[in-house]
Amino acid sequence: MLDGLTPRDFLRRYWQKRALFVRSALPRLAPLVDERSLTALAARDDVESRIVERRGSRRETMHGPFEKARAKRSGWTLLVNGVNLHLPAADALLQRFNFVPQARLDDVMVSYATPGGGVGPHVDNYDVFLVQGPGRRAWRIEGRRFVAGPGDLIYLPPGVRHDGVALERCFTYSVGFRAPRGAELGAAFLDWLHEHGLPDASYRDPGLAPTRKAGKIPGPMIAFASRVLDRIQWSRRDVERFLGEYLSEPKAHVVFETGSKARALSRSVVRLDPRTRLLYRGTRFFINGESISVRGANIAPLYELADRRMAQGARLARARLGGLISRWQRQGYLNLEKN
Question: DSSP letter at 142?
Answer: T
* 281 alpha carbon, distance to own chain's centre: 19
* 304 alpha carbon, distance to own chain's centre: 20
- The string of pLDDT tens digits covering residues 1-15 is 898 999 999 999 999
**By CB neighbour count within 10 A (0-12 exposed, 13-18 middle, 19+ buried), where does 329 fall?**
buried
CB 83 within 8 A of CB 33: yes
Residue ending a domain, among 128, 156, 177, is: 177
Q: Hey, which residues does 155 pair with through a beta bridge?
A: 20, 129
DSSP result, 221-277? HHHHHHHHHHT----HHHHHHHHHHHHHPPPTT--PPPP-PPPPGGGEEEEE-TT--
Residue ending a domain, among 177, 202, 228, is: 177
Q: Is there a domain that residue 88 lies in?
A: yes
Residues 149 and 280 in one domain: no
Burial code of 24-56, b = ≥16 C-beta within 10 A, e = fewer?
Answer: ebbeebeebbeeebbbebbeeeebbbbbbbbee
Residues 151 and 289 in one domain: no
Q: Is there a domain that residue 22 lies in?
A: yes
Residues 159 and 21 in one domain: yes
Residue ending a domain, among 143, 177, 211, is: 177
Q: Is there a domain that residue 131 lies in?
A: yes
CB 268 within 8 A of CB 336: yes
Residues 169 and 279 in one domain: no
Question: DSSP letter at 297?
Answer: S
Domain that holds residue 24: 7-177
Rg (CA), the chain: 25
Residues 170 and 297 in one domain: no
CB 29 within 8 A of CB 133: yes
Q: Could you give the 3-state DSSP secondary structure of residue 39? A: helix
Angle, CA 152 vertex, CA 271 and CA 79 arms, to 5°: 65
Which pLDDT value is given to residue 172?
98
- Distance, in Å, from the CA atom of 144 to the CA atom of 86, rounded to the nearest integer, reads 35
- The string of pLDDT tens digits covering residues 298-318 is 799 999 999 999 999 999 999
Residues 147 and 42 in one domain: yes
CATH number of the domain residue 300 falls in: 3.40.366.30
Which pLDDT value is given to residue 261?
62
The ranges of the chain with pLDDT < 50 are none
Q: Tally the domains of the chain.
A: 2
For β-strands 58-63 and 49-55, DSSP reports them as antiparallel
Q: Is there a domain that residue 320 lies in?
A: yes
Residues 32 and 134 in one domain: yes
> Does the bond joining 65 to the residue before it have cis omega, within 30 degrees of 0?
yes
**For residue 266, how many C-alpha atoms fall within 13 Å in the half-sphere facing its CB?**
4
- The string of pLDDT tens digits covering residues 52-84 is 998 888 899 999 999 888 889 999 999 999 999
Q: Which residues lie below 8 Å from residue 264, measured CB to CB, with a gap of 6+?
A: 313
Cβ neighbours, 10 Å, residue 132: 24
Q: What is the pTM of this model?
A: 0.86
Residues 41 and 146 in one domain: yes
